Structure 1
Amino acid sequence: MADPHAGRLLFHRDGESAWNMAVDQAIAESVSGDAQSGSARPYTLRFYTWAAPTLSLGYFQSSGDASPRFDTTKRVRRSTGGGAILHHHELTYSLTVPSSAGEHGARTDLYRGVHAAIINALHRQGIDARPHYLNKTPAAPPRAAPTLAVDEDPFLCFQRRTDEDLIVSGYKVLGSAQRRFKRSLLQHGSLLLRASEYASELPGLVDLTSIALNPETFLTRISEEFEALSGVAFQSDVLSAAEATRADEIVASRFGRSDWWARR
């Protein structure tokens, strides 16, 4: 996964639900456009938190399946697959990388690279995390992390298990999904820091270990660990003016619209 370019590191605190999703798409479109034009925009690693508790549906999920217990939360539909996520006490990340023309399918190396960096950063905090596939028997068939596909899994993502999910004390604390654009790939995921009152059955790191993480300190450690694994040196940056404008357009045309939420 080595890359000679410096990467961009972004942190957005307490973003609105539609804006959080729109910024990921705007960055992916920007990286894709640069790749098509022959300019090599570097990897963009973004971390963000949420302004209010938010239920995000996977792309293929039915809005009618959402439990009434989430009626008072914000809501948004993601552009990636997988189960619903209650974004509350968590740190969300996205990694956007350029891709070659004709490239398709999931990038398992990205799943494992980012998750390995998070494992290493957690170990520095005294937290033992490991990918789910290490807990499986050798005869068990591999299962890819979620893409744009639907299955019969539980409604909430953190009640599901895929090979690359991170497990602490038997509970899933991190899951990720990918989506391809013309010449870029977006991977984003959620690290559960502690349980939400809206989904108390899903414990986070502080519930499982009594160790509380400072999001800003921890994202720096993750970027350092990913740099050590990938060779990409991340430097703090901000959205370009074009990306910010495009994000606002995407909020208005997609993620902020009630018909996008209710499309299924």
Structure 2
Amino acid sequence: MAAGAVQLDIDHEPRTGSENMARDAAMLEAAADGAGPLVRLYRWSKPTISLGHFQKNAADDIPQRFRSLPRVQRLTGGGAILHDCEWTYSCAISRTHAEASPPERLYESVHQLLIDLMLANDIKAGLRGPVLPTEAGHSNFLCFLRRDARDIVVNPSASGTKFRAAKIVGSAQRRRRGAVLQHGSLLERHSPFAPEIAGLLDLVPLSRQRLAMLAGTFSRNLAEYLGDGTVQDGFTF
């Protein structure tokens, strides 16, 4: 594994969609230039719609309820994401890293790290598993209304919840010169702009503070996994 020291940026200042996507793009470019693994954890300063790389950014293509929100185009594919009540992670690795291929390897490794952390904290999480083409829901505008075998699904344990088992993590990738950027959303709770989509706090008896701690632990676990155990706080590029 060509790994080395990892740069980890836990960004405590929520940022705009344009700022967040620019930082992720810079991570991919740095990895393509041969930088060691990069990991970032961040939030959004206001509710924002990010569109998948191949989705159209015309007003007529956006559902009415989201048209007043800021929009940003992602480098990665997939459906749109409403970034509101969530933590977002991103990681970038060079083409020589052992996790860079095949494409599904990094998805599976990152999601398994998060599942293991959840299970260790009594959260009933697992991969969705096989999905029939008729169940995938690729026509849905929002990513979290689509289904993929690699989705992380959590079964509810909170008393009185109205939600059933729900997708609370989805990820997407972009490649450049063999380097890989992967980012994904960990839903904290449902948003008033999409109340039908549950977050972790809707499903399990967990506080926001505890979830923030788990998100931080996950980002550091991911950094240690992708590197040689040496973690440098903050980016140098």
TM-score when scaled to structure 2? 0.83
Match of 2:202, SS state, is helix
Give, in angstroms, the shift of residue 30 of structure 1. Answer: 1.4
Map Cα deviations across residues 61-107 of structure 1 (whole Å, 9 max, x no partner): 12332112112322111111101100011010111000049xx9752
Give, in angstroms, the shift of residue 7 of structure 1. Answer: 1.0
1:201 and 1:234, CA in 2 relative to 1: closer, same or farther beyond 3 A? farther
Find the partner of 1:168 among 154, 157, 162.
Answer: 154
**Structure 1 or 2: more helix by fraction:** 1
Alignment check: 8 A CA contact 2:95 2:179 kept? yes
Give, in angstroms, the shift of residue 9 of structure 1. Answer: 1.0
Match of 1:15, SS state, is coil
Q: What's 1:26 paired with?
A: 26
Query: In 2, Cα distance between the equivalents of 1:82 and 1:182?
Result: 21
The CA RMSD over aligned residues, in Å, is 2.7
Give, in angstroms, the shift of residue 108 of structure 1. Answer: 1.3
Match of 2:189, SS state, is coil
Give, in angstroms, the shift of residue 203 of structure 1. Answer: 0.6
Map Cα deviations across residues 154-213 of structure 1 (whole Å, 9 max, x no partner): 111000111111001221100001100114110011011100000000010000113134
1:184 and 1:115, CA in 2 relative to 1: closer, same or farther beyond 3 A? same
Q: What's 1:188 paired with?
A: 183
Map Cα deviations across residues 124-158 of structure 1 (whole Å, 9 max, x no partner): 3321110111xx48xx68xxxxxxxxx94311100
Alignment check: 8 A CA contact 1:120 1:225 kept? no
Find the partner of 2:68 among 66, 72, 78.
Answer: 72
Please say if 1:223 is aligned against 2:224. Answer: no
Counterpart of 2:61, as a letter, is: D
Q: For structure 1, which runs of at least 5 residues remain unmatched after alignment? A: 36-40, 142-150, 244-264
Q: What's 1:153 paired with?
A: 139
Match of 1:30, SS state, is helix
1:14 and 1:219, CA in 2 relative to 1: closer, same or farther beyond 3 A? same
Query: In 2, Cα distance between the equivalents of 1:23 and 1:121?
Result: 26
Please say if 1:54 is aligned against 2:48. Answer: yes
Match of 2:186, SS state, is strand
Query: In 2, Cα distance between the equivalents of 1:213 and 1:116?
Result: 22
Identity %: 35
Please say if 1:201 is aligned against 2:196. Answer: yes
Q: For structure 2, which runs of at least 5 residues remain unmatched after alignment? A: 156-164
TM-score when scaled to structure 1? 0.75
Counterpart of 1:15, as a letter, is: R
Q: What's 1:43 paired with?
A: 37
Give, in angstroms, the shift of residue 233 of structure 1. Answer: 2.4
Q: What's 1:256 paired with?
A: none
1:167 and 1:116, CA in 2 relative to 1: closer, same or farther beyond 3 A? same
Alignment check: 8 A CA contact 1:31 1:97 kept? yes
Match of 2:14, SS state, is strand
1:18 and 1:227, CA in 2 relative to 1: closer, same or farther beyond 3 A? closer
Matches within 5 A, 1:238-249: 238-240=234-236, 243=237
1:88 and 1:16, CA in 2 relative to 1: closer, same or farther beyond 3 A? same
Query: In 2, Cα distance between the equivalents of 1:207 and 1:52?
Result: 20
Alignment: residue pair count = 221
Counterpart of 1:77, as a letter, is: Q
Alignment check: 8 A CA contact 1:177 1:187 kept? yes
